[in-house]
Structure 1
Amino acid sequence: MNRLGLLGLLCAAMLGCWEPGDALTCFDKQYAYKGRCCNRCQPGERLVSECNKTEDSVCARCESGHYQPSWTKEKHCAPHDICEGNAGLIVKMQGNTTHNTLCQCRAGTHCTDISCQTCVENQPCQLGSGFVAAKAVERLSSPCEPCTEGTFSNVSSKTEPCHPWTSCEEKGLVVKVKGTNSSDVIC
């Protein structure tokens, strides 16, 4: 076969794979489908049917227990996470059609890892350390933190935070013994 014949065969093969929609540029809330720009479904909705020459995309609200957080051409909404009580989880924020359910560990427990599928009981914070609720909520391994200068914890507890030293000055007194991370000042 000569060069011109090969070139013709190559062009025909390429044209057979090309569709008119391939070069179409659509807005960000649209997508290309069969040579047209179809509208994406808004957050909280899923695609029921694609657009055609006479009709626009058809969308429907996500069914109960499902959500879609962004503009989409997906035909299914994602199911909400289930806060498994047997794993120690409770609902922090109930999901809706645009947001997933947020789970957190019950009070006195923390996540076993970053995915937070299960919770384990907090070990008591030792003297000189206090419970930091934000750390437990942020899914960090231990919600205990050493008491900083000016604070103390004189108990071993799963829930007690570090407390500020007593202000002798506010009481019109002077400091007799300086406080530590495990004891209050003595006025």
Structure 2
Amino acid sequence: NRVYRYCTAFTNTTCKPCADSTYTDEPNGRSKCISCTVCDMGTGLREKTPCTRISNTVCEPLEGFCCIDEERGSCRQAVEHTKCKPGQYIKQKGTAVSDVECAVCTDGTYSNGSLQICQQHTKCEDLGLEEKVPGTNSFDVECRRKTQVAVIPGLLAAVALIVVVAGVLFIKIRRNKSSVRGGTANNTRLSDNQTKERSTDGEKT
């Protein structure tokens, strides 16, 4: 209520109920009621308990916010919970009255900042793969198939073997041809000599 008419020597004080969106929460001599608090979403607040003629609005933090200024059970200002960075995990969740607590992942584990427990790095060898990119406390290990690397040396070895075999065969063929040509030439010379000898014997006779 508020004072409508103050008392006089002949009359008592007259009161009237507070209008909508106003209140008084204790006996007073006010001629005007107090305006109800508006919970501003822009400051991270929402209404918990609506205002009445005898009590003010009670505000509370929005989801994901925590109160940093409280008065008489009502939050006057709130801030958004801290977001953990990549490489950190959420050690303690935030509440309406406390912020998030972050902690750094240990070696061999990682988190993108939204996890409550750091994840173990993938072991590529357990999957029949090999490590392509090492893991950090922010990212997992990147794996790749072993065949992607092993095939190349295998192909090179096969090509080298084919070249060697082809070279050996080529040399053998060249040698065989040379031997055949040499034998043919010797036979031709022998035949010519025999012909000459026969001609000489015929002349002598």
TM-score (ref. length: structure 2): 0.42
Report 1 or 2 for greater relative contact order, CA contacts < 8 Å, sequence distance ≥ 6: 1
Larger gyration radius, structure 1 or structure 2: 2
Question: When you count helix as a share of all residues, which structure comes out higher?
Answer: 2
